[in-house]
Amino acid sequence: MQKIDYIVRIETQESDKRLALLQTNIEKYGTIYNTLKKSTELTGRIERC
């Protein structure tokens, strides 16, 4: 696998700031994210439904 491009769609009433924090926390603390990042280019975003 060379590259993974993902979109996470969430139905929420949280602010854009909170969604950005979720993205940051996934990238910083996400076990699967960090394991894949070692061997694959990861790009993606979180968006509201």
Q: What is the pLDDT of residues 11-48, one digit of tens each?
A: 999 999 999 999 999 999 999 999 999 999 999 999 99
- Global confidence as pTM: 0.80
Q: State the amino acid at position 18 in one-letter form.
A: R
Q: Which pair of tokens denotes residue 14?
A: 């949280």
Query: How much is the pLDDT for 23?
Result: 96
**Secondary structure of the chain in HEC code, one letter for each residue:** CCEEEEEEEECCCCCHHHHHHHHHHHHHHCHHHHHHHCCCEEEEEEEEC
Q: How confident is the model at residue 1 (pLDDT cuts 50, 70, 90)?
A: confident
Domains held by the chain: number? 1
Query: Distance between CA atoms of 6 and 36, rounded to whole angstroms?
Result: 13
Is the pLDDT reported for residue 9 higher than 90?
yes
Structural domain including 38 reads 3-48
